[in-house]
Amino acid sequence: MADIRALVAAAGRGTRAGLLYPKTLFPIQGKPILVRVAELLAPYDPHPTIIVSPDGQEPIRECLDAVGVAAHLVVQPEPRGMGDAVLRFEQSPAFANAEHVLLLWGDVPFIQPETVASVVDAHIQHNNDFTFATRLVDSAYTVVSRDGAGHVTGVVETREQGIAAPQAGERDIGLFIFRKAVVLDALREELSSKWGKSSGEHGFLYIIGHLAGQGLRVEALPVATELDLVSLNSLKDVAGFL
């Protein structure tokens, strides 16, 4: 298989969830979310790169060491957004040998192995530049847009667009695989949509529309399950799984 390296965005501090430690260390059924994520990604990369906050670096290292998970920890000094976090991959020892990056948000405890496999297989077999998993939902905070032929044209982040209430639509689940060079080059560009209107942070999903507009191969796969959708934004989001 092509040279795939895993990248986990885990710099969330946990404060919005009312936690005193990184939310990716929150235990679900006795196992921290980040350990679940590392186990999920192990078939593709047994030494994932994990983007952490300065305060989160030590507790995350201690957690992974305790269960024997080897990982490259890279610090994001300031919470400047997901695009900034992904660019930090350049500082990882895994960067040089990566052709494709398998990116996963660090607060999604129940992504299914079959979902990851479907996305990775399609990405390689279809020779894509960017591939991600989606699901049709009644309330979507991110909404995939497609043209009349069904091709992806972008992803709208409702919060950044000032849309007051989520709407029905096709949403991403925080699981992506992409060509390293293509995406990191795009993240470095000063595109008009780079900085969030609401957050002021360097986003990530805006590059999907940019890549599609450049005629690159972008594919959204509606293969996600209900379990794949679970993420820890507040403790009530995972209350039924503890």
Query: pLDDT at position 58, please?
Result: 96
Q: Residue 2 pLDDT more than 90?
A: no
157-180: pLDDT as tens digits: 877 666 656 688 999 999 999 999
Query: pLDDT at position 173, please?
Result: 96
Among 129, 105, 124, 104, which Cα is nearest to 185's?
Answer: 129
Q: Residue 83 pLDDT more than 90?
A: yes
**Structural domains of the chain ordered from first start:** 4-134+172-232 (3.90.550.10)
Q: Coil, strand or helix: which one is 146? A: strand
Range with lowest mean pLDDT among 8-22, 34-48, 58-72: 8-22
Between CA 130 and CA 206 the distance in angstroms is: 13
Among 233, 217, 172, 204, which Cα is nearest to 86's?
Answer: 204
User: What percent of the chain is predicted at pLDDT more than 70?
Assistant: 94
pTM of the full structure: 0.94
Q: Residue 64 pLDDT more than 90?
A: yes
Between CA 38 and CA 170 the distance in angstroms is: 27
Higher pLDDT, 12 or 225: 225
Within 10 A of 204 (CB to CB), how many other CB atoms are there? 23
Contacts of 78 (CB under 8 A, 6+ apart): none
Contacts of 155 (CB under 8 A, 6+ apart): 142, 143, 144, 145, 172, 205, 206, 208, 209
39-58: pLDDT as tens digits: 999 999 999 999 999 999 99
